[in-house]
Structure 1
Amino acid sequence: MKFNLKHKIFATGILAMLSLQVSAQEKTLSFPGAEGFGRFTTGGRGGKVLFVTKLTDDSSEGTLRHALEQKGARYIVFKTAGTIYLESPLRIKEGDVTIAGQTAPGDGITVANYETFVAADNVIIRYMRFRMGDQKKVEGDALGARFIKNLIVDHCSMSWSTDETVSIYVNENTTLQWCVITESLRNSAHQKGAHGYGGIAGGKFASFHHNMYANHDSRNPRLGEYAGSKFALTDLVDFRNNVIYNWGHNNVYGGEGMNVNLVNNYYKPGPASMNKKRIVAIDKNQKPETEVYNIWGKYYINGNDSEGNPEVTADNWEKGVFNQMNKAYNLTDADKNSIKVNQPHDIQNNIKTDSPKEAYEKILKIGGASLVRDAVDLRVLKDMKKGTFTYEGSRGSKNGIIDSQNDVGGFPDLKPGKALLDSDNDGMPDEWEIKNNLDPNTANANGKDLDKNYDNIEVYMNDLVKKITENQR
């Protein structure tokens, strides 16, 4: 009887696991090329189409703020291009939205002046630029997200923050991929003084891959913030195939009590880099009131390439990690064995992993809002390739670390272009609908005529960046 019961329980368990696997396989990606833990975010799928037709920020119909304030599933399509100078912070409080920056004509969209913050579940953001700047003399992130579920940010460019450039943590099921994250402002508007930070990377099931961090003094990124507040010992951050260039006094650090994969990243020290051999400086929480007090995180670290430091590349752990940690910890062998794990934390094989140098070359070619690259990305990527810098700060920062966007020439002019004719106002231009055997006079954004898994308008949005997506493989 016991034998039969055990076998029945085992068989039931196997069936349940198979069911879960089949269910995962049946899910539709956010878009072709979506990877990581946020890859099944649906955004505005099945929803209405809203248009951004002007660059003002007064909440009137046709503004980005108005479109984001609406309730229900929605796609945001741009019929204009240029820089949106915000009049106040932009908080995304209504989820189930796809912000399709690739639909903009001309040179695309930049959001400036204040931070953009995701405070809602189920959000897709693609091919946008978030360049905050110091004009309003306030501290903030160019882009941030906390306390939400299901987010994917793809092929965006962020810079000129007065706090962190992009911080995504204390969330569940998120991906930041193929983004170019550059030039935080060091001596600027932050109340604590010199800042100039890349960002914070954390969360439960959080993926950060194929991003570039360049010209930040520190937090390139900071892992965390410590996991004691919501996901104590249950978080998982997968950080792979990123490029880190020209950090100042610190690159990757933190990660108190966290579960982390740090795999196949490319470290390229630059003129500002003080410690050129660090892979990560792991910290331990020193706050007794937290759930992770005095507990080391669990790290899988492998395959990271430190340009110009072959000994670090050959031995990430001893040369790039343990030798770089705070000496006050007085690391013992027991500490090292507690920190280091020999098998990666399971990410369900949700990212195609490149070699570090392959990732570096791909990011140079297609990283960021690369459908049309602006002058900022073109300059920083050129500098990274050459291992140099073009500008210094106006308030004392040196070697590519800047203090104001005015130090590098300010906001670039973006050509407005002209939106293509869309007779039925369904977000898909007539010529594209005709080419794909759709009726340009019948609104059918939510039809499944072209792909059983995607709305027609999603097929259009994906088609706009098809060549870039193909180059990711």
Structure 2
Amino acid sequence: HVSASWSVDETLSASARFTPPEQGFYDLTVQWSIISESLARSIHAKGDHGYGSLIRGGQGSRISFHHNLWANHVARMPRPGNYDGPDKDPVGAFIEFRSNVFYNWGGGHSGYDADKAAMVAYNFVDNAYVMGPDSQQAVAFKESNSLARAWFAGNSMNGVVPADIAPVAAEPAASAYERVLAEAGASVRRDAVDARVVAGVRNRTGRIINTEQDVGGWPVLPPGVAAPDADGDGMPDAWEAKQGLNPKKADGAALARDGSGWTNLELWLADAAKVRG
């Protein structure tokens, strides 16, 4: 539930060089987030550089992106890959994109892998691709990597799913489209930016921008009122009492008693994300 916008390069990326291997990351998920409106002609030294996501792993790393919305980027929606060739990394990365929405890529394709020869495998399953005003061709992905392995199934382009899809036990693209637009991002109380981005996807009017001023600038966020939290552990007193916890004992970092393996604070955050205003 991250909302990321207005970058001068990629808006939300996850990449590492794994040199040495222990400096890389090996298990990562990004989910239910909005990745929107990178700034195309802004202040980047290379010129037009409004990109979505650079996602490069290696050495057996596993990366999952699901139920996210990418909207209004020049390119890299997404760009997966691996920095190292097979001589340095014979295993590569395993990356999955499942039940995401990709809207309004600038140019001829939404995502691509421009590596020449690097070990990487990825799944694109049940994603919804929607062309916008800046999209030139209905192409989901362009592959240039001779060693890449890819699986595509259940994806839709402008609402149409190929007839020969393989059956998968996952959320269909049409359902993912509705749920991502309804629930992705900081969606408990959406601000004007996310609301406008989502509306621009639904009515296909959202475009690539060069500066946040193109879309009205920074929104005014009304101040909120924090719920009482006597012990300052990040969990409201009322919620702690409902869970049988002591509102006067700071135990947010303690493991929850439900056996989930989550901390009390993580359990509260998960509950809070379900309450939509």
Distance in 1 of aligned mates of 2:219 and 2:186: 14
- With over 3 angstroms needed to count, the CA separation of the structure-2 counterparts of 1:172 and 1:218, relative to structure 1, is same
Q: Where does residue 64 of structure 2 map in the other structure? A: 207
Instruction: Trace 1:277-288 onto structure 2 (pairs within 5 A).
Output: 277-284=138-145
2:93 aligned counterpart, secondary structure: coil
Instruction: Trace 1:400-439 onto structure 2 (pairs within 5 A).
Output: 400-439=207-246
TM-score (norm 1): 0.51
Amino acid at match of 1:313: P
Question: For 1:3-57, what per-residue CA distance to the aligned partner results, in whole angstroms no more than 9, with x for missing partners?
Answer: xxxxxxxxxxxxxxxxxxxxxxxxxxxxxxxxxxxxxxxxxxxxxxxxxxxxxxx
Q: Contact 1:210–1:241 at 8 Å: present in 2 too?
A: yes
Question: What is the total number of aligned residue pairs between the two structures?
Answer: 259
- With over 3 angstroms needed to count, the CA separation of the structure-2 counterparts of 1:260 and 1:441, relative to structure 1, is closer
Distance in 1 of aligned mates of 2:43 and 2:139: 29
Amino acid at match of 2:213: N
Which residue of the other structure, out of 17, 41, 50, is the alignment partner of 1:196?
50
Instruction: Trace 1:305-320 onto structure 2 (pairs within 5 A).
Output: 305-307=156-158, 310=160, 313-314=162-163
Instruction: Trace 1:61-460 onto structure 2 (pairs within 5 A).
Output: 155-170=1-16, 171-203=25-57, 204-228=61-85, 231-249=89-107, 250-254=109-113, 256=115, 257=118, 258-275=120-137, 277-284=138-145, 295-307=146-158, 310=160, 313-314=162-163, 353-389=170-206, 400-448=207-255, 450-452=257-259, 453-460=261-268
Structure 1 residues 410-419 or 372-381, which shifts more? 410-419
- With over 3 angstroms needed to count, the CA separation of the structure-2 counterparts of 1:448 and 1:208, relative to structure 1, is closer
Higher relative contact order (CA 8 A, sep 6+): 2
Q: Contact 1:269–1:307 at 8 Å: present in 2 too?
A: yes
Q: Where does residue 21 of structure 2 map in the other structure? A: none
Q: How much has 1:343 moved relative to structure 2?
A: 11
Q: How much has 1:431 moved relative to structure 2?
A: 2.2
- With over 3 angstroms needed to count, the CA separation of the structure-2 counterparts of 1:446 and 1:267, relative to structure 1, is closer
1:411 aligned counterpart, secondary structure: coil
Amino acid at match of 2:113: G
1:457 aligned counterpart, secondary structure: helix
Q: Where does residue 22 of structure 2 map in the other structure? A: none
Q: Which structure has more helix as a fraction of its residues?
A: 1
Q: Which runs of 5+ in 1 are unaligned?
A: 1-154, 285-294, 317-341, 345-351, 390-399, 469-473
Q: Contact 1:255–1:297 at 8 Å: present in 2 too?
A: no
Q: Which runs of 5+ in 2 are unaligned?
A: 17-24
Q: How much has 1:302 moved relative to structure 2?
A: 1.5
Q: How much has 1:260 moved relative to structure 2?
A: 1.2
TM-score (norm 2): 0.85
Distance in 2 of aligned mates of 1:273 and 1:263: 21
1:403 aligned counterpart, secondary structure: coil
Q: How much has 1:251 moved relative to structure 2?
A: 1.1
Distance in 2 of aligned mates of 1:416 and 1:227: 47
Flag the structure with larger Rg: 1
Question: For 1:424-450, what per-residue CA distance to the aligned partner results, in whole angstroms no more than 9, with x for missing partners?
Answer: 222222222223332222333344564
Distance in 2 of aligned mates of 1:373 and 1:434: 28
Q: Where does residue 20 of structure 2 map in the other structure? A: none
Query: Superposition RMSD on alpha carbons, in Å?
Result: 2.4
